[in-house]
Structure 1
Amino acid sequence: MFSGARLALTWLTVLPARRHPHVDRVSAGQAIALAPLVGLLLGLVAAGTLVILDLTHMPDLLAGILTVGLLAALTRGLHLDGLADTADGLGTYGPPDRALTVMRDGGVGPFGVIALIVTLGAQATAFGALTGDRWWAVVIAVTAGRAAFTLCCLRGVPAARPDGLGALVAGTQPPAVPAVWFAVLVATSTVVDLDNPWLGPVAVLVAAGLAAAFVTHARRRLGGVTGDVLGAAGEITTTAVLAMCTLV
């Protein structure tokens, strides 16, 4: 389990964790199962940054933009790259092989640009709105984004390609893993808004539903999941929680 935690840090952050000498499905599956803990760490950093910037009386939107940039730097922009590639692939006409080829191309097409603009804009605006005593929503959102990885890797969900990250982690998670993580998030999210304790749990459940629907669509369109799909699911889930938490 320790090797899985170290691998999760190596994959999902820029922290100088020593690389695992040999990555197999067991250690990769452990890393996916523990990914929400990495999300918790990143969420605390993001929330702390917003609190500090709020104390400087920085405009909310600027604080949100800087926080989005910080998270992108701490994660090497990996999930955002996955979001852009997946948007381009899913927006392509033709069979799954054509979509997968577009996703591997490396360039960013029009669908990818639109997805990045909408996602980054929504996240920055939401971060700016969740300053002050609502910072806990940021922690929940970023953690939920990494919990979405476990939904992508449920047993029975195949990999879209025979190689790559998707092939390594697809089907490694029993249903209990995402069930436990999202149950914990629902229970702890009641503190997001003490005047409206239902807001956080509803936000998490809606985001989980969107993530599940997205994975189902990706499986139908691509034949399975890839590493890019994991990144896209994480960004969609994070954005959904943030957006819901700004409604009240």
Structure 2
Amino acid sequence: MPRTFPADGLRFAFGTLTALPVRVTKWDRDAARVGMLCAPLAGLVVGLCAAALGAALMALGTGPLLAAVASAAVPAALTRGLHLDGLADTADGLGSARPAEQALRIMKQSDVGPFGVITLLFTLLAQVAVLFQLYEASWTRGALAAAVSAAAARLALTLAARKGVPPARPEGLGAAVAGTVPRGAALLAAALVTAVAALAAVPFGAYETVRYAAAVVLAVCAAELLLRHCVRRFGGITGDVFGALAETAATAALVVLALG
């Protein structure tokens, strides 16, 4: 069996979780394991791009609202909207109150139903509202929030790919990555992302350091609640559920950063 190198996992992470021009050279369970462990790194790169654009707009004098919109738009653009699409599809599947097989069929349809539209609307409004609040306080707070929320979003995917979480379908991204990440490695990734977020907030003081760490922890807790509900309703995870988990975690992280 061909050996899986770390670079294969990195390509898997960036090639499947972003729209960056990275070619996936290996598509198997070993590459998926490494790739999902690298998911927060892919999220950090997306978040830094969002932060850079928001900060640049603030420097050009456009004001915090446009910076907030831009920072919310960059992750959507760098994922081709797949996570938002997954959020909408998952909302339609859950909102249908149909049995698992019928709900999964609804999620595979190309159109977006009323539950999906409403969920997308309020999720994006919440993200922009928080980013506006933080950019209005200072460009550094807005930029850091954009970066941390994106990393937390992809950390939720690492945790969702842990062993013991089944796929809902025998095909697709959910089946490719479900159960690939050892539990210990997933928890280590969570601890590392939390520590990095806390360290990044050190210049803002002790209170902000704790709040940024709490934002990551509570973000993955919110995603975990959704994950467990989806596993009960659908019998496992799908690519759409992964998208919903990422957007849920990103939004939850931002909401925590808006409090206090």
Tell me, in whole angstroms, the C-alpha distance in 2 between the residues paired with 1:201 and 1:32.
21
TM-score by length of 1: 0.94
- Structure 1 segment 206-221 matched on structure 2, within 5 A: 206-221=218-233
Q: Matched residues, percent identical?
A: 43
Tell me, in whole angstroms, the C-alpha distance in 2 between the residues paired with 1:59 and 1:17.
34
**Aligned amino acid, residue 165 of structure 2:** V
Tell me, in whole angstroms, the C-alpha distance in 1 between the residues paired with 2:168 and 2:197.
34
1:154 pairs with 2:149: no
Alignment match of 2:205 (pick from 194, 206, 216): 194
- Contact in 2 for aligned 1:150/1:177 (Cα 8 Å): no
Q: Which consecutive segments of 4 or more residues in structure 1 shift more than 6 A?
A: none
Tell me, in whole angstroms, the C-alpha distance in 2 between the residues paired with 1:69 and 1:4.
26
Question: Partner residue of 2:31?
Answer: 27
Q: CA deviation at 1:209?
A: 1.0
Tell me, in whole angstroms, the C-alpha distance in 2 between the residues paired with 1:19 and 1:167.
17
Local SS of the residue matching 2:111: coil
- Contact in 1 for aligned 2:55/2:67 (Cα 8 Å): no
Question: Partner residue of 1:114?
Answer: 118
Tell me, in whole angstroms, the C-alpha distance in 2 between the residues paired with 1:137 and 1:68.
11
**Aligned amino acid, residue 156 of structure 2:** A
1:165 pairs with 2:173: yes
Alignment match of 1:79 (pick from 80, 83, 104): 83
Show structure 1 runs of 5+ residues with no match.
none
Tell me, in whole angstroms, the C-alpha distance in 2 between the residues paired with 1:136 and 1:181.
19
Question: Partner residue of 1:17?
Answer: 22
Local SS of the residue matching 2:46: helix
Q: Which segment is superposed worse, 164-173 or 11-20?
A: 11-20
Alignment match of 1:64 (pick from 68, 76, 95): 68
TM-score by length of 2: 0.90
1:7 pairs with 2:12: yes
Number of residue pairs aligned between Structure 1 and Structure 2: 247
Q: Which segment is superposed worse, 11-20 or 96-105?
A: 11-20
Q: CA deviation at 1:147?
A: 0.6
Q: CA deviation at 1:94?
A: 2.0
**Aligned amino acid, residue 11 of structure 1:** T
**Aligned amino acid, residue 124 of structure 1:** V
Question: Partner residue of 1:133?
Answer: 140
- Contact in 2 for aligned 1:50/1:127 (Cα 8 Å): no
Question: Partner residue of 2:104?
Answer: 100
- Contact in 2 for aligned 1:137/1:189 (Cα 8 Å): no
Question: Partner residue of 2:3?
Answer: none
Tell me, in whole angstroms, the C-alpha distance in 1 between the residues paired with 2:245 and 2:179.
16
Question: Partner residue of 1:241?
Answer: 253
Show structure 2 runs of 5+ residues with no match.
1-5
- Contact in 2 for aligned 1:39/1:145 (Cα 8 Å): yes
Question: Partner residue of 2:187?
Answer: 179
Q: CA deviation at 1:242?
A: 0.9
